[in-house]
Amino acid sequence: MGQSKIFTPLDLPNGTTIRNRIAKAAMEESLADVATSTPSKQLINLYATWAKGGSGVIITGHVMVDRSAMSGPGDVALDADSNLTMFQEWAAVSRIHGAQVWMQINHPGRQMRTDLGQQAYAPSAIPLDVGGASRLFCQPKEMPDSMVESVIERFVATARLAEEAGFNGVEVHAAHGYLISQFLSPLVNKRTDRWGGSPENRARVLYSVVRRIRAAVNPSFAVAVKINSADFQRGGFSPSDAIDVVGTLNTLGVDCIELSGGSYESPAMVIRIDSSKGSAYLEFAKEIVNVATVPIMLTGGISRRKVMEQVLDAGVAIVGLTTALALVPDLPVRLQRGERIPTAKTTPPNWSSKTLASAANLGVVKWNMRKHSKGEKATYQIWPIFAFIIEFFLGWRRARVFKQTRKVKAD
């Protein structure tokens, strides 16, 4: 039953069908054209590789809804000033072998690097606390009410543009400590207006984004949401909060809810990796399945067939793969053929700083994605310290180009 369940089609609430239960979940590729924040040829090549790999759904790395609020210099942004040509090519390449392609849309809030020269805004003026690395991130200002409304409309505008460009859906990123996740968290959201205080008020931004997107796009266009099962911080967004959010999302025309966990301050999404016991968030997913009336997707270090089967047998509808597909992009095709799969996971370094260990592990993943984007064979494991240094250098170089380009445009 295991393998046949993996490759069983899934009907979504919007009436469309996903050909199997494997999703390429979002990863931060950092492969945008830095000067324009649009998809580069290298990024499109990477998605062409994933498109041939056999996933039922391909979810893009996060796309910013506002080019004046970027998480990193290599991220894509889609707003009213964007040229849709490369986005249309990105969508077409990703769909060509039968997968649905959903654009993950996001706003960084306070998770913005200081070297980009942009002002960060957040629900409250509370900076990131990541130890010695805190100085690398902006001191945020509290968003006025008018800005909150403006950001909600930016999510809607980006969703409309994604549909126009040929994407099959969007995924609203409300996890991993980005802006909507910040509104959900009582540790970060200290507001006393309609956007803060009670759990319902803290979730108001998320619900408003989803409602307005659903009303603005065609009924067959997928609207998904990614939330944390928990922030893994004492006093933060909790599993019970997540259950309440899912209960409301059930009523808002959502087609899929993806479960993950963690933030920059507690990077569980990278450190909590696959093991013989199953996915990092499987036990919580079982609780969510009992209250959800829409398909649930689970992401969290999954790389082995046995774990995929375990997840699906628990009632989860879609298995989200990240690192596994960064290393072995044709893993779904190989699984369906019954082939032996090479090692499809990394081993994060056992460093005292979980933030730096997370960055090093992400560097290994990005190293391999760059390999695939150039048509080269993945090397799977490289020294994490080497990957960390390479990614730091590339990030520094991208940031310089980013700032210079913005300065020229401003002049």
Strands (E), 193-343: 222-228, 256-260, 296-299, 318-321
What CATH number should be reported for the domain whose range is 2-342?
Answer: 3.20.20.70
**Residue 106 in tokens:** 């996001």
pLDDT in tens, the chain (411 residues): 334 699 999 999 999 999 999 999 999 999 999 999 999 999 999 999 999 999 999 999 999 999 999 999 999 999 999 999 999 999 999 999 999 999 999 999 999 999 999 999 999 999 988 787 788 899 999 999 999 999 999 999 999 999 999 999 999 999 989 999 999 999 999 999 999 999 999 999 999 999 999 999 999 999 999 998 755 556 567 788 889 999 999 999 999 999 986 555 554 444 444 444 445 578 888 889 999 999 999 998 888 898 999 999 999 999 999 989 999 999 999 999 998 876 667 777 777 777 777 788 888 888 899 999 998 877 666 778 888 888 888 888 999 999 888 865 655
Question: DSSP assignment, residue 386?
Answer: H
Q: For position 278, what pLDDT does the model report? A: 47
Q: For position 380, what pLDDT does the model report? A: 64
Cβ count within 10 A of residue 192: 9
Q: For position 275, what pLDDT does the model report? A: 42
- Residue 134 to residue 136: CA distance in whole angstroms: 5
Q: Is 131 left (phi over 0), alpha (psi -120 to 50) or beta?
A: left
Sign of the CA dihedral 308, 368, 178, 63?
negative
Nearest to 213 by CA among 171, 259, 165, 150: 171
Q: Quick one: which H or E segment has residue 174? A: strand 169-174
